[in-house]
């Protein structure tokens, strides 16, 4: 019932026009009916088929009931088809002699999106929430879902639902390339680990709880599953340590889209290229993303130096990883993507530079402004919607 009401609500801007049209159709029908009555009473020798078409074999009351029933069914069918088109009022800034033609079929609209990421990534994708019927954010197994519910109350995001993959948070241990074992959430707290990278993830318990019903249903019914943006080893891959979760994603018919990080992560993905990110997803999730979105914006030298001091480098495409060039689906302009590790990789402008104020525990009163690079929510939402309309 909620789905039906949501779809019909697209007609709210057409109610006055539809009402006027309905009155006109009724008056036209009455006029036609009077003409039939006049012809039937005054013209002799009418063909027998007219007797059948005018339902003369039924009492007048039943004729009226039958015609009204059929008419209502046809009218309901027409309204339902009309509701398949999103109706948007014309912007007030258009001049009187200008026209705005919109053609947006809801059948082509991604209705159900599942996002697998951490809190920061879900916040970035909040601009996507009002463009879909439902956006289910499956939180990392290491995080309690209560944090996200509180955040959603502050942001008042429409159509956003949060789901925990397991009833209780689980501890994920990262084994680094030097043999260090550490909680994956604590790597960034130890600066001496910045040059390292994660070699393997594993759960710190063997008695694993079952996957929650909400997570299973969201993955099963999704039109698209978006991995990221977010920390590869902390926010995205841990959920795939649950065999049931990995199998649910593998069996889903949804398009799988990975949003690649802008920069490498100290102690986690040091030295990673785009291909390394895709290989990690294949290793843990058992899937090859259908599409990978990579930031095409080049970073200015000053910002690059700031990140280099923190042992971070931009994640760009490496021509040595190219397997083949391919045309994007549905593209009439000949735009091309590249195939890397079996995934179609697409470059787009996805980032924005922002000023972030930081402080230290040693001197909380003193802060400094730092120019950092972040995924831009509007750009990312536009790129995802454009991609999903093509596939």
State the SS3 of the chain.
CHHHHHHHHHHHHHHHHHHHHHHHHHHHHHHHHHHHHHHHHHCCCCCHHHHHHCCCCCCHHHHHHHHHHHHHHHHHHHHHHHCCECCCCCCCCCCCCCCCCCCCEHHHCCCEEEEECCHHHHHHHHHHHHHCCEEEEECCCCCCCHHHHHHHHHHCCCCEEEECCCCCCCCEEEEECCCCEEEHHHHHHCHHHCCCEEEEEEECCCCCCCCCHHHHHHHHHCCEEEECCCCHHHHHHHHHHCHHHHHHHHHCCCEEEEECCCECCCCCECCCCHHHHHHHHHHHHCCCCCEEEEECCCCCHHHHHHHHHCCCCECCCCHHHCCEEEECCCCCCCCEEEEECCEEEEEECCEEEEEEEEECCCCCCCEEEEEEEEECHHHHHHHHHHHHHHC
Tell me which of 173-177, 255-259, 337-341 is least confident: 337-341
Tell me which of 5-14, 96-105, 237-246, 302-311 is least confident: 96-105
Task: Summarize the confidence of residues 72-101 as an average pLDDT.
Answer: 60
pLDDT score for 109: 54
* pLDDT over 90 percentage in the chain: 43
**Residue 290 pLDDT > 90, yes or no?**
yes
Same domain as 267, residue 197 = yes
> What is the per-residue pLDDT across 106-155, written as a single tens digit (0 to 9) for each?
445 558 999 999 988 898 998 888 888 899 999 999 998 877 777 676 66
Is residue 199 included in any domain, yes or no? yes
pLDDT score for 174: 97
Same domain as 124, residue 66 = no
Domain that holds residue 156: 111-349+377-390
**Higher model confidence: residue 275 or residue 151?**
275
Task: Summarize the confidence of residues 359-388 as an average pLDDT.
Answer: 78
pLDDT score for 243: 95
Same domain as 284, residue 163 = yes
- Average model confidence (pLDDT) across the chain: 83
Same domain as 381, residue 281 = yes
**Higher model confidence: residue 20 or residue 121?**
121
**Higher model confidence: residue 248 or residue 46?**
248
**Higher model confidence: residue 140 or residue 329?**
140
CATH number reported for the structural domain that contains residue 256 in this entry: 3.40.50.10680
Same domain as 137, residue 235 = yes
pLDDT score for 327: 75
Same domain as 197, residue 58 = no
Is residue 328 included in any domain, yes or no? yes
pLDDT score for 244: 96
Same domain as 335, residue 241 = yes
Q: Which of 61, 82, 103 is the last residue of a domain?
A: 82
Is residue 95 included in any domain, yes or no? no
Same domain as 156, residue 44 = no
**Higher model confidence: residue 71 or residue 263?**
263
Same domain as 116, residue 52 = no
- How many domains, the chain? 2
pLDDT score for 361: 52
**Higher model confidence: residue 342 or residue 69?**
342
Is residue 119 included in any domain, yes or no? yes
Tell me which of 67-76, 195-204, 221-230, 311-320 is least confident: 67-76
pLDDT score for 111: 82
Tell me which of 189-193, 340-344, 359-363 is least confident: 359-363
**Residue 101 pLDDT > 50, yes or no?**
no
């Amino acid at each position: 019932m909620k789905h039906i009401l949501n779809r019909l609500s697209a007609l709210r801007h057409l109610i006055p026009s539809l009402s006027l049209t309905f009155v006109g159709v009724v008056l036209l029908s009455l006029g036609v009916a009077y003409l039939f009555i006049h012809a039937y009473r005054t013209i002799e020798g009418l063909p027998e088929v007219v007797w059948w078409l005018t339902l003369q074999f039924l009492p007048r009351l039943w004729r009226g009931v039958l015609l009204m029933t059929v008419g209502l069914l046809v009218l309901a069918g027409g309204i339902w088809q009309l509701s398949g088109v999103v109706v948007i009022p014309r912007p007030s800034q258009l001049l009187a002699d200008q026209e705005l033609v919109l053609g947006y079929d809801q059948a082509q609209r991604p209705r159900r999106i599942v996002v697998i990421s951490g809190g920061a990534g879900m916040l970035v994708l909040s601009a996507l929430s009002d463009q879909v019927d439902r956006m289910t954010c499956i939180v990392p197994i290491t995080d309690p879902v209560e944090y996200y519910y509180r955040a959603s109350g502050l942001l008042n995001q429409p159509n956003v639902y949060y789901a925990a993959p397991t009833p209780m948070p689980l501890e994920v241990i990262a084994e680094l390339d030097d043999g260090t074992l550490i909680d994956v959430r604590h790597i960034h707290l130890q600066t001496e680990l910045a040059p390292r990278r994660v070699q393997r993830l594993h759960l710190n318990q063997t008695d694993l709880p079952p996957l929650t019903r909400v997570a299973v249903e969201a993955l099963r019914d999704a039109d698209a599953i978006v991995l990221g943006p977010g920390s590869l080893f902390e926010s995205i891959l841990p959920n795939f340590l649950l065999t049931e979760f990995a199998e649910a994603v593998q069996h889903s018919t949804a398009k799988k889209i990975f949003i690649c990080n802008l920069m490498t992560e100290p102690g986690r993905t040091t030295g990673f290229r785009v291909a390394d990110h895709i290989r990690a997803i294949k290793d843990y999730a058992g899937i090859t993303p259908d599409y990978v979105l990579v930031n095409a914006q080049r970073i200015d030298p000053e910002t690059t130096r700031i990140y280099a001091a923190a042992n971070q480098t931009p994640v760009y495409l490496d021509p040595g990883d190219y397997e083949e060039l391919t045309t994007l689906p549905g593209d009439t302009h000949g735009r091309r993507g590249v195939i890397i590790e079996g995934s179609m990789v697409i470059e787009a402008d996805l980032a924005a530079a922002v000023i972030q104020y930081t402080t230290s525990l040693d001197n909380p009163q003193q802060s400094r402004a730092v120019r950092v690079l972040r995924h831009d929510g509007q750009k990312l939402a536009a790129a995802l919607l454009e991609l999903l309309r093509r596939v």
